[in-house]
Every structure is written in structure tokens, then in C-alpha cells.
Chains A and B, each alone.
Chain A
């Protein structure tokens, strides 16, 4: 089965750096995703890690350690518009060629002035 854990809520100050952690225990692993979701909207893609290490994309970076079942999303120079939920998701190769994508419960980030 799949178990993906993230903190429920976090608060950070505008201009600061925040790290959102995700740990996972899955029957298979074929990549980890981070999505951003503003209230009432669909999730939008932020990053994808399949190999260990850090992937940087502008103000956002994502890290993966497959041996530890651990990932984090790093947001730099926080802006008020970054207030949203951040969802960690794991792609499981499954069986019979079915690629199951399972999401964690999400971390609601509030950026304060």
C-alpha cells in the first residue's frame, strides 16, 4: 500500500525561505511530484524528481532521497501569492503497466507579511 505524510499546516513570513517535507512508504516508486493548489482550484505542477538530489526551478527547489523515502520542497523569497496547499504525490509503477499516482493530504502554507 501507499502512505504519504506531510505536515498539515505551516506559516512563514514574506521574503523568507520555507521547507515542506514529505515522507513516503509505497509498494513501488517511479517518481515523486510536487503540486501547488490554491483554494477551490485544480492543482498545478511544480516539480518532478525520479533520481536522488536537488532539482531547482526558479524560486522553487525539490529534493529527493529514495533510500530514506523522503522529499522536500523549498520555496525561497516567499511571496503572498505562495499561500496555497502543496501536495506531494508518488507514482507507483503498479502491476500490469498501471501507473498509480497517490497524493498526500497536502500542506497548507500561509505566508504572512
Chain B
């Protein structure tokens, strides 16, 4: 079955630590996206990538970094520079028609 897999589903981090969230897709989509969602809020764009080895900052990129070394993979690193990292993180890839397919999300909590 094709889809998007995010891991881990739940992650706890101490202040000052970097953490990396995994996102893998086997849909053969070129474009991939990372969003952050806070309780009761909509989705805010962190980074997006149109093709391998290229990506663009979204609206709230500060404190985050990404890489796109393979078409299937778009990992997100939440660095210690991100002051309020506790949130629900969603990865998506985009069908050529424009529709976004989402992973199940990763819930990050800073202790």
C-alpha cells in the first residue's frame, strides 16, 4: 500500500536537545511538506521541497532544518533554537493534481 509514514508517533525531548522527525513516502511524489499544528490551531508551513536536493522555507522555518537527499525521504530536525517546539508535526506529499496526502503525525513534547 502506498502512503506516508511518520516516526516516531510520540517523542519527548529535554530542553536544549535536537530531535529529528522522520517522513518517508512511497507514492512517488516530487513535492513534500512539513507543517506544525498547535492545539486548536490550523496548520502552519515550516518547510517544503519541490524536488530532491532543493527546499524552501515556509512561514515558520526558524529553529528547524530539513534535508531532501532522496525523493522518498524528507526528515525534519527540530533544533534547540526552536523556543516553543511542543506541537503536532504533520508531513505531507503532493499528488500532481494538487491534493496533499498526510502522514499520521508526530507529537513532540518538550519536558
**A contact residues vs B (CB 8 Å cutoff):** 30-31, 33, 35, 40-45, 48, 50, 87, 89, 91, 94, 97-106, 108
5 extra interface residue pairs, beta carbon distance < 8 Å, beyond A42-B104, A99-B50: A40-B88, A43-B102, A98-B48, A100-B48, A103-B44
Q: Is B17 an interface residue (CB 8 A)?
A: no
> Residues of B contacting A42 with CB < 8 Å?
90, 102-105
- Bound form: Cα–Cα A94–B98 in Å: 14
A-B contact pairs, 16 of them (CB 8 A): A33-B99, A35-B100, A41-B104, A43-B43, A43-B100, A87-B43, A94-B56, A97-B50, A98-B48, A98-B56, A100-B48, A100-B56, A101-B33, A101-B48, A102-B45, A106-B42
- Bound form: Cα–Cα A99–B105 in Å: 22
Interface of B is mostly: strand
Q: Is B68 an interface residue (CB 8 A)?
A: no
- Bound form: Cα–Cα A55–B59 in Å: 30
- Bound form: Cα–Cα A92–B108 in Å: 29
3 closest residue pairs by CB, A with B: A105-B42, A42-B102, A103-B43
B50 touches A98 (CB 8 A): yes
**B-side interface size class:** 20 to 34
B98 touches A31 (CB 8 A): yes
Q: In whole Å, how far is B12's beta carbon from the nearest beta carbon of chain A? A: 17
- Bound form: Cα–Cα A44–B58 in Å: 21
Those of B54-111 within 8 Å (CB) of chain A: 56, 58-59, 88, 90, 94, 97-105
> Residues of A contacting B98 with CB < 8 Å?
30-31, 33, 48, 50, 91, 99
B58 touches A100 (CB 8 A): yes
